[in-house]
Amino acid sequence: MDLSYSPEYEAFRTEVRAFAKQHGASAPRGAMGDMRAWQKLLISNGYAARTIPKEYGGFGAEPDVLKSRIIAEEFIAAGLPMGMAGQGISMLVPTLLELGSEEQKKKFIGPTLRGEIIWCQGYSEPGAGSDLASLTTRAVEDGDDFVINGQKIWTSTAAQADMIFCLVRTEADKPKHEGISYLLFSMKMPGIEVRPLVTMTGRAEFNEVFFTDVRVPKKDIVGERGQGWFVANATLKHERGMLGDPNQAGTRLKALIDLMQNEEIDGRRLMDNPVFRDRLLKLQARVHAMEFHGLRLLTAGLRGEDPGVARLIVKLMGCELNHQLAAFAIDALGELGILYSGSPHLRASGTWQTSYMFDLGLIIGGGTAQIQKNIISERGLGMPREPKAAKA
């Protein structure tokens, strides 16, 4: 156990801090500002796409999780936005690096990193949620093309997306896990219809996407035909890493402490109310526990140790904690906490309610809490799998 950083890392931290100081004022805030220009600046300094090889448009540094952590810590401390983090960058790029052809890497990674191609993910279907492998969107061979028919759901950014990475069934006669292929195609093609899916937050964070005789060249496949399940699992691994980020909980806790210090009820600070304070303290302990848990996993990774069950719990616990932080903020605000949609007296632009509702979506998405518990008990604790009802 040694939580100090060696001089090399301290020097790196100084460098990141200097960058934050120099460029902080020009950083885009919220929807304002030029995110693409910011992204370009971050890549050229190695603060985004850090370990992606230069030839594909990244910065080309050796993987170093400590440096990545220092960047995150300093950006959060300075209140600067990190680089772009859409599904293309977070999920498709690592997948292409691992399993894409040279041509696909050259063609897609650079523009994706620079925000020139926005991607959406075509995985879930109305009939294939937790049981994703039972998906039925069909891709039938016709000359040099696949012809695609079917429907996807829970597709975020589909309306803005230029491209989709999509799971389709190419081998109708094979067992369900062996008949899937992973295709890349344009969202601007004829036969694609995007319908916004309005959620409980009142916004359309997701969409439904309908495919009618969409023609996709057969060469735009990642991996081999029928290997799409394997390719998709490489991607899901990246998504689960993304969904349990403890930095987010730390940021929320900070905002929650400010809220408790500044909001008053009957002329007294909320912090002086012992019941609210006790709830805040319970959450603070949880945030610390997950933060240190992240450090433990980081060290295990550096040492090449398998942290076993300790890693499998991160998505479940991280998403739940974020949800609980938002839930508590709403309780602390009381009647102010139910204000929404630009109402007078609204606090934090209504983000506590939006987060509270949207986090429920994150608890369900990317492998539901119940699926996570299956994974933890089966892979982490060695408990028996659910007996299979029937072969599909």
Partner 1 sequence: MEFGLTSDQKMMQDSINRTLERVCPLERVRKAAGHEPYASDVLKALVELGVPGIVTPEEFGGLGLSLLDAALAAEALGRHVAPVPFVASSVLAPLALIGVGSDAQKKMYLPKLASGELIAGVAISEQAAGAREKAGITAKGGKLSGKAMFVLEFGGANIFIVADKFAGLHIVDAKAKGLEKISLSTIDATRAIGELNFDNVEAELLSSGNPAATLERMIDAGRIMLAADTLGAGGRMIEKAVAYAKERKQFGRVIGSFQAVKHLCAEMIAELEPCRSLIWYAAYAFDEFPGQSRRMAAHAKAHTSEVGTFVARTATEVHGGMGFTDLLGLHYWFKRIGFDRQALGGPEKVRHDAAVAQGWIGN
Contact residues: partner 1, CB under 8 A: 1-6, 9, 66, 260-261, 271-272, 274, 277-278, 281-282, 284-286, 288-290, 292-293, 295-296, 298-300, 302-303, 305, 309-310, 313, 316-317, 370, 372-374, 376-378, 380-387
Label residue 267 left, alpha or beta by phi (over 0 means left) and psi (-120 to 50 means alpha): left
**What is the C-alpha separation between 311 and 380, in angstroms, rounded?**
9
Q: Smallest gap, in angstroms, from Cβ of residue 315 to partner 1? A: 10
Residue 163: Cβ within 10 Å count: 20
Count Cα neighbours of 349 within 13 Å in the Cβ-side half-sphere: 3
**What is the C-alpha separation between 41 and 54, in angstroms, rounded?**
15
**What is the C-alpha separation between 148 and 133, in angstroms, rounded?**
17
* Shorter beta-carbon distance to partner 1: residue 179 or 244: 244
Instruction: Determine the 3-state secondary structure of 304 from DSSP.
Output: coil
* Shorter beta-carbon distance to partner 1: residue 73 or 208: 73
**What is the C-alpha separation between 77 and 148, in angstroms, rounded?**
47
* Shorter beta-carbon distance to partner 1: residue 173 or 386: 386
Residue 59: Cβ within 10 Å count: 18
Instruction: Determine the 3-state secondary structure of 125 from DSSP.
Output: strand
* Shorter beta-carbon distance to partner 1: residue 8 or 144: 8
For residue 16, CA distances in Å to 19, 68, 295 come to 5, 11, 20
Please list the residues that pair with 192 across neighbouring strands. 211
Instruction: Determine the 3-state secondary structure of 280 from DSSP.
Output: helix
Whether residue 205 lies in the annotated active site: no
Q: Please say whether the beta carbons of 146 and 216 come within 8 A.
A: yes
Please list the residues that pair with 80 across neighbouring strands. none
**What is the C-alpha separation between 296 and 293, in angstroms, rounded?**
5
* Shorter beta-carbon distance to partner 1: residue 89 or 249: 249
The residue from 74, 125, 239, 320 that is catalytic is 239
Dihedral over Cα of 338, 341, 343, 346: its sign = positive
* Shorter beta-carbon distance to partner 1: residue 298 or 346: 298
* Shorter beta-carbon distance to partner 1: residue 4 or 349: 4
Q: Smallest gap, in angstroms, from Cβ of residue 88 to partner 1? A: 31
Instruction: Determine the 3-state secondary structure of 303 from DSSP.
Output: helix
Q: Smallest gap, in angstroms, from Cβ of residue 59 to partner 1? A: 21
**What is the C-alpha separation between 186 and 162, in angstroms, rounded?**
6
Q: Smallest gap, in angstroms, from Cβ of residue 279 to partner 1? A: 10
Structure tokens at 114: 């620079």
Q: State the catalytic residues.
A: 239
